Amino acid sequence: MHHCHGQAAISLLFFLFAGALFALPFARKPDAPAWGREDLTRNTGIARDFTLEQDITYAGEVIDAGFAGELRTLVEESSETYFGMRSDWLIDRGILEIDRLPAGRRAYETECSGCHGRIGDGAGPAATFLHPRPRNFRKGAYKFTTTSTGMRPKRSDLFGTITRGLAGSAMPSFRLLNEERRHDIVEYVRFLGMKGEFEHMLVTIATDEEELPDPEEYANLVADRWDPDKLISTFPGAPETPRTAESIARGRELYFDHSRANCVSCHGSEGKGDGAAVTGSMEVTNGFGEDVTVEGIYDDWGYRMFPRDFSSGVFRAGQEGKDLYITVATGIGGTPMGSFSGVLSPEEIWDLIHFVQSLGEGGGQ
């Protein structure tokens, strides 16, 4: 009997120890961006549950200006006034389906917050272990949209990403989730984007101008950016041209042309994502005025990026030609991948797509 009790005690201790080891990584603080690791918010007192340290590059001169407390109050009160879930102002603007927000919040917290974070900052418990990092909805930059570069996504863009997932990343398809719940999540993500962008904008303007901004002015600016009536898709462009050997050859020339598409600089000569821009280093000035040497290329949040390996034949935004056309024509928000719609004609974009597709099939050499 005593022997059995001893074994049980040892088993229990082993279980607790193993559980602690398993939980330890999830207790770590998420990695800070490569550019600017210092937590400035603890010096300002401005960080609340809606504000992430990466959202606030709160410069020393603003602290010295003596209105850190006033700015905190302004952000808190203005965020609730203009972008609260029950905001009369937001209801009157008519840019959100307000009735979807409660269900959207519940579905988001169940399905999305583990990676994207409760406030949409891309810093959920799992984010530290994921590459690419989950999207931060609070900055107004979204990678895969049908809208022009710099514009916010349409509802259909977000719905498509949620439904389809992003191949080659930790973002799964939610095709089996009830369609209404997916629409609810879309609306809540739009809400988080507006709210976060507004809060971040107030702090940024105060930092740059060293005075408190007019919140209504910037609330209207954010609302205009997210107004569905002002978001226009760039696709369809030209209908797909025939995928011939000649088209692939023309696409290859564009791929290697440093004065035009210049895909080779990031994606490499074989399309493996190992171009000179990725493997080299450069001197930059970070957000704190410090000169630092960085290797590779980075997104707008300071995280290192690794361009798509075309030879895998897997494309995050979708496998069809029209999916690739949208990516090339509009660019990828928050990354060095810009829009080519003003550089290449629609026919040239199709040529480039045909060449890129051939790389995933073992061609293109």
pLDDT tens-digit readout, 146-164: 887 778 999 999 999 999 8
Query: pLDDT grade, residue 329 (50/70/90)?
Result: confident
Any idea where the domains of the chain sit in the sequence? Answer: 41-230, 245-359
Fold type of domain 245-359: Cytochrome Bc1 Complex; Chain D, domain 2 (1.10.760)
| Span 293-306, pLDDT tens digits | 777 777 776 777 77
| Span 169-212, pLDDT tens digits | 788 889 999 999 999 999 999 999 999 999 888 988 887 887 88
Q: What is the pLDDT of residue 301?
A: 67
CB burial class (10 A; 0-12, 13-18, 19+) of residue 121?
buried
Q: What is the pLDDT of residue 363?
A: 53
Mean pLDDT of 41-48: 33
* Torsion sign, CA atoms 172, 177, 183, 187: negative
Q: What is the pLDDT of residue 304?
A: 78
Q: pTM score, two decimals?
A: 0.64
User: Cα–Cα distance between 231 and 158 in angstroms, integer?
Assistant: 13
Which position has the higher pLDDT, 363 or 272? 272
Q: What is the pLDDT of residue 51?
A: 35
Average pLDDT across the chain, whole number: 77
Residue 184 and residue 103 in contact, taking contact as beta carbons nearer than 8 Å: yes
Across-strand partners of 285? 291
Cβ atoms within 10 Å, residue 177: 16
Helices (H), the chain: 2-23, 41-44, 60-65, 68-83, 88-93, 101-111, 113-116, 155-164, 179-209, 215-226, 245-256, 264-267, 276-279, 321-330, 346-359
| Span 90-149, pLDDT tens digits | 999 999 999 999 999 999 999 999 999 998 988 899 988 887 788 888 877 787 788 877
Mean pLDDT of 38-55: 33
